[in-house]
């Protein structure tokens, strides 16, 4: 059997290990928030956001941000049907309803026309998910937000390193969120980040994320409201600091991996890969191949071919509306149709050229023969 190729794996060097050891050994007492502060500073520096609050997950960051916007029972939040459930779950935690709309056929991100058609008097927000590093149509989305007075929330869990016309994802809408789960562009084991340029929203999320305790409250142990506990530890933040020192290297490597796949597969008739619109930078978190119907290659056939070669491929997200917890939305034709003929390719930073060739050849010499 050939050596196994995993689809994701973090890139961890001695630097991460040294920082984590230092935090474990010395990061207590007056130093207990030192790496957290540094990590948030580095994140602001890189993204250009004014404010950043680290969290234990992206799910938590979304929950905090939407709670701070006052989203609650009876409200609706519009998002793309194609997505990981982590974006929809916090909407339900607040008693609000996820409204699932279709995606665009090329970027696989939310379709702005479908958003407008889904807006009702109960709509309280729109979540833009930059899927697989691909960019949402931010100009259109921000116009829609403006026109209807609705906040645009950027779930950028998959798009650290992606820029829309020089602006980093997560900095264009009311707030942005990121994930540092082990599969993402950088990792802290588990972790997340909330960013915003809105001072009031930042203040509210700061209080909510600290169990409702305001920094101006002089009484000890005196929460002013019910908040949440979604904090990142100093040890996790230490790993994050080392990852942020290496961010350019990590994103560059992701782009090289995509470029290699694209060079081998992108030119083949009937194969579509992650797009990069003019003026944008795609961090290509997850290189993805969508096969035209005419090729007759199904998800199952592709998964099978990869598994025979001992390679982990990954299925394109199922439509959320296909899950038992939600009602089917069959008119979301792209969201229902594309996953049946699509696949995510392995993309961890340390993949060798020989491994990339093995992956490409499953499609070139296997599936297309």
Ligand X SMILES: *Cc1c(COP(=O)(O)O)cnc(C)c1O
Cβ proximity to ligand X, 134 vs 179, nearer residue: 179
Q: How far is the CB of 120 from ligand X (least distance, A)?
A: 24
- What would the two tokens of residue 357 be? 């060739």
Q: How far is the CB of 283 from ligand X (least distance, A)?
A: 13
Cβ proximity to ligand X, 128 vs 289, nearer residue: 128
Q: How far is the CB of 293 from ligand X (least distance, A)?
A: 26
Strand 123-129 with 314-315, pairing: unpaired
Q: How far is the CB of 241 from ligand X (least distance, A)?
A: 18
Any bridge partners for residue 288, and if so which?
344
Q: How far is the CB of 332 from ligand X (least distance, A)?
A: 17
Q: For residue 60, how many other CB atoms are within 10 A of its CB?
A: 24
Cβ proximity to ligand X, 187 vs 360, nearer residue: 187
Q: For residue 11, how many other CB atoms are within 10 A of its CB?
A: 17
Cβ proximity to ligand X, 75 vs 158, nearer residue: 158
Cβ proximity to ligand X, 8 vs 206, nearer residue: 8
Cβ proximity to ligand X, 187 vs 210, nearer residue: 187
Q: How far is the CB of 156 from ligand X (least distance, A)?
A: 8
Interface contacts to ligand X, rule CB under 6 A:
57-59, 83-84, 86-87, 129, 155, 157-158, 179, 181, 192
């Amino acid at each position: 059997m050939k050596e196994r190729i995993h689809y994701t794996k973090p890139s961890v060097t001695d630097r991460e290990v040294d920082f984590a050891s230092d935090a474990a050994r010395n990061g207590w007492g007056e130093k207990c928030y030192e790496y957290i502060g540094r990590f948030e500073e580095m994140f602001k520096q890189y993204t250009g956001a004014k404010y950043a609050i680290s969290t234990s997950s992206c799910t938590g960051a979304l929950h905090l941000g939407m709670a701070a916007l006052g989203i609650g029972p009876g409200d609706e939040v519009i998002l793309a049907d194609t997505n990981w459930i982590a974006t929809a779950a916090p909407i339900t935690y607040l008693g609000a309803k996820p409204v699932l709309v279709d995606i665009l056929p090329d970027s696989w991100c939310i379709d702005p026309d479908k958003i407008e058609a889904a807006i009702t008097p109960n709509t309280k927000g729109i979540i833009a998910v930059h899927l697989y590093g691909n960019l949402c149509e931010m100009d259109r989305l921000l116009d829609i937000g403006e026109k209807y007075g609705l906040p645009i929330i950027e779930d950028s869990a998959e798009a650290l390193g992606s820029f829309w016309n020089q602006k980093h994802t997560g900095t264009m809408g009311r707030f942005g969120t990121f994930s540092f789960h082990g599969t993402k562009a950088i990792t802290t084991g588990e972790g997340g980040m909330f960013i915003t340029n809105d001072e009031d929203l930042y203040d509210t999320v700061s209080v909510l994320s600290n169990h409702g305790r305001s920094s101006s409250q002089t009484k000890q142990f005196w929460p002013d409201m019910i908040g949440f506990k979604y904090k990142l530890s100093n040890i996790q933040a230490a790993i994050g600091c080392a990852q942020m020192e290496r961010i350019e290297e990590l994103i560059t490597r992701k782009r090289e991996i995509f470029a290699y796949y694209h060079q081998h597969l992108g030119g083949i008739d009937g194969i579509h890969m992650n797009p990069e619109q003019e003026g944008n930078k795609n961090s290509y978190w997850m290189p993805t191949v969508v096969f035209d119907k005419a090729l007759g290659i199904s998800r199952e056939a592709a998964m099978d071919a990869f598994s025979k070669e001992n390679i982990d491929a990954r299925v394109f997200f199922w439509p959320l509306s296909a899950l038992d917890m939600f009602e089917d939305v069959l008119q979301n034709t792209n969201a229902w149709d594309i996953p049946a003929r699509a696949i995510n390719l392995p993309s961890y930073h340390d993949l060798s050229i020989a491994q990339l060739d093995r992956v490409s050849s499953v499609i070139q010499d296997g599936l297309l023969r």
